[in-house]
Structures are given as structure tokens and as C-alpha cells.
Structure 1
């Protein structure tokens, strides 16, 4: 049993390290930068999608999927879901007013403003509203928080998960404390929802809805 748990912990660490390398190493390789926009972003999306597949396989093989990979509807879960969305809305609006725009957010705006056709659809719509939220929840809530479940006293699992979730969004552009605070706050909300529902589907749904909401607002305000 200990050997199986050790393997689960090790693969979790490797998955998170691979997530970091996709944006901080692979994306900077010379041959990758020579690809077309569609090829460049398509490669990144493919690698992230593979991360999600591997994370799911690890969860299933570890038997954790039986507990955390099931969807259970309760009115209290739905209420917490909507409360989490409202808190996310308030958090983003407050931090937007007192902090400068995050580097990640600025990079996304600059990128999608120059994309058209299938490149725009795949990068902005398919990846931004679906693939990224699903994979990030599988990795940072599904894998990581389950691996840290023994340390959930004082919400250590939530804190570590939100910290690494934030770092993944921040470090590829260089350390900025305010950027870290913004994403860590969002990570805390996703983590608490996962902890309350004991299911990866609820934070995954919140993440999808939130990202889709941001994309719709951006389309209405900026046109992209």
C-alpha cells in the first residue's frame, strides 16, 4: 500500500512539474517559436490535454476516482457553487481596482487580439473555456489536493494547491506579487469548493463557467 501511495505522490509531482515546463521550457524552444500561431498554440494545447488524460488515468488507477470523480447533486452544493461564483466576481473586481492588470491577463488579450479563424476558436474558445479549466482542476484539485488529503488540517491542502495553481499562472511571465495574490485567491475558492463537495466536477464546472463568463464579457467589451 505504501509503495502504491508513494507512486501516486511521485506521479503527482511529475505532472505538476510537466505543467510548468510546458509554458516555461517547451514554449521557449527555438523550433516551437518558429511554428505558425496555430502550430504554436496547438502544440501547447495538445500537451496540456495530454496532461489531463494522464492525470485522469492516475486518479482512476489509484482508486481515488471512485470517491472524488463522481458527481453528486445536492441543493447545498448548488448554493455553494453560486456563492463561489459571486465571491469570484467580487474578488476579481476588487483586485482589478487596486492592482495593475496581471501579466497573464495582458498576454491573453494581446494574443487573442491577433488571432483569427480556427486559431482564435481553438486558443480562445476551446482552450480558454474548456480544456484549461478541466485540466487545471484535474491536476490542482483532483491530483494535488487528494495527494495532500492527509494534511488537510488547517486547510494545508487548499493552501498548497492554490499556491501552486497561482505560480503556474505567474512564473511564466516573471514574479509579480499582485499577480500571485489574484490567482491564489481564485485557487482558494476552487479548493474550498472541492473540499466541500468532495468532487472534482463542482470546481471544474465553476472554472468553466467563470472562464466562459470572462470570454463573453471580453467579446462584448473589446470584440475579441
Structure 2
């Protein structure tokens, strides 16, 4: 049995959850973001001593950007090894056969029919709501969005595409939808897990005001409902990828 055939349903052990979270982009950015700069400062102590605080920050900016890129992409290759090694049921949880799934493992024809109307309708409602709240309240960008926009000018487009459109949706959905919503030995996800998943997803993206909180938590809810309705993480990955692809295009059009 390979990873795309789906592993038998079982509870995801706490140590498996902890390992995946430890190797997530969130943890790796924090760990590498501290360790790498310290090592560089320690090995270049003489040079650092002659730099002002502003010059030091400017010198470290490329390193921080590289660390962020590596920490965002690396889990895309590490987490599948954990899933395969531990046979964690996060991919094709319904164990659809090759004849049953369409386009990608885990989604059948009915799932695609649902996503075909659900994604555009929910996407429009979410963005209309975000726009109205931005008009009502002071509109300032979230820290997460500002960080992404800063990366656009210093990171190759293909790296940004891999980070934003490929790595982030797959890894984040395995974590926020997979580990939170589908951690038990059942295809069904509770509404409580949907809400918890949505709120944590929103908070991790560091909203700075009501519009950004609504946008990120609402986005998390849209992804979570897609997963709950189809009983698959793949549905939320597809939605997340499409959402981020639109955002990716918008970023480069605006530059």
C-alpha cells in the first residue's frame, strides 16, 4: 500500500502530531531564525563589532529571507517522509481506488462537483465581507501580508511560487485541517474542530485588525468546511492553492 492509496484510519498519536508541528514552517522559521543568525554573528564577531545596529540589520536581512524561504519549503519534503514512515492517514483518507478518484487521489467526482460551485461562491462572499470591513474599519495590512510583499522584491518568482502556491497550502492543510480536524479514527470532523482549526489558522497568520482577522479566520473556515464536507484534506488543499495562486498573481501584477 502506497501513500496515495491511503492508509487505514486510526487515531494520530500525540507524539506524531508533536513531531509534525515541530517540523512545520512555523517552528522551523522560529528555530532557524534564531540559530542561523547567532551562528553567523558568532563566526563573524570582529566584523559585527564594527557595524551599527542599522547596518547589522541590513546585513542580516538577506540571511533572514533565505532562512524564511528554506523553512517554508523544507517541510514539503520532510512531512511526507513522516506520513509514509508512520503510515499516518492524512492523504486519501477515504482510500479511494484509482478508478474512484478523479484528477488527484482523495477526491471523487462528487467532491469535484461540490468544489466547482463552493469555491467561487465562498471566495466571493469572503472577499466581499473583507472589503466591507476594510471600508468600515481602518485598513492596515497584517504582518504576514507585509512580510510576503517584502519577499517579492528579493526572492526569485519561482521560489515565491513554490512557497506560496505549492508548499504553504499542502503543509498548512496537513497541519491545520489534517492534525486538528482528522486526528481521530473517523472520516467525519466535528464542528468544534472546524472552528478550532479556523481560529488557530487565522491567529497564526498574525491579523492586526478586524478586517484581517475576519479574512484569515474566514479563509480558514472556508478551507475547513471544504475538508469537512468532502471528508478529505485534498479538498482544502485545492481551495488553498487556488486562493494563494490568485494572491500570487495579484502580488506580481501590483509590483
Structure 2 residue 160 is the aligned partner of structure 1 residue 133 = no
Which residue among 138, 147, 151 is the counterpart of 1:107?
147
Find the counterpart in structure 2 of residue 209 from structure 1: 242
* Counterparts in 2 of 1:24 and 1:76: CA distance versus 1, 3 Å: same
| Cα distance change on mapping 1:128 and 1:194 into 2, 3 Å | same
One of 190, 200, 205 as aligned partner of 2:233: 200
The alpha-carbon deviation at position 217 of structure 1 amounts to 1.6
Q: CA contact under 8 A between 1:141 and 1:200: conserved in structure 2?
A: yes
Are the equivalent residues in 2 in contact too, given 1:91–1:185 (CA < 8 A)?
no
Cα RMSD between the aligned structures? 3.0
Question: What is the TM-score when the length of structure 1 is the normalising length?
Answer: 0.76
Q: Is the 8 A contact 2:201 2:220 kept in 1?
A: yes
Q: Deviations over 1:28-78 (max 9, x none)?
A: 3324758647742442134332354246437x7144545356111222342
Offset of 1:209 from its aligned partner? 0.8
Task: Map residues 7-156 of structure 1 onto 2, 5 A cutoff.
Answer: 8-19=13-24, 20-29=26-35, 30=37, 31=39, 36=63, 39-54=66-81, 56-57=83-84, 61-63=87-89, 65-68=91-94, 70-74=106-110, 75-97=113-135, 98=137, 99-113=139-153, 115=154, 119-147=155-183, 152-153=189-190, 155-156=191-192
Listed as ranges, the gaps of 5+ residues in structure 2 are 1-9, 41-59, 95-104
Shift of 1:204: 0.8
Q: How many pairs does the alignment contain? A: 208
The two structures have a TM-score, normalised by structure 2, of 0.68
Question: Based on CA coordinates, which of the two structures has the bigger radius of gyration?
Answer: 2
Distance 1:163 1:17, change over 3 A: farther
Structure with the bigger RCO (C-alpha within 8 Å, sep 6+) is 1
Gaps spanning 5+ residues in structure 1: where? Answer: none
Quote the Cα distance in structure 2 between the aligned partners of 1:167 and 1:66: 28
Going from structure 1 to structure 2, the CA distance change for 1:42 and 1:62 (only over 3 Å counts) comes to: closer
Report Cα offsets for 1:75-134 as digits up to 9, x if no partner: 234222322322333244334443421111011112212x1xxx4224321211111111
Q: In the alignment, is the contact (CA less than 8 A) between 1:49 and 1:135 conserved in 2?
A: yes
Counterpart position of 2:52: none
Which structure shows the higher helix fraction?
1
Contact kept? 1:55, 1:139, Cα under 8 Å: no
CA separation in 2, counterparts of 1:63 and 1:135? 15
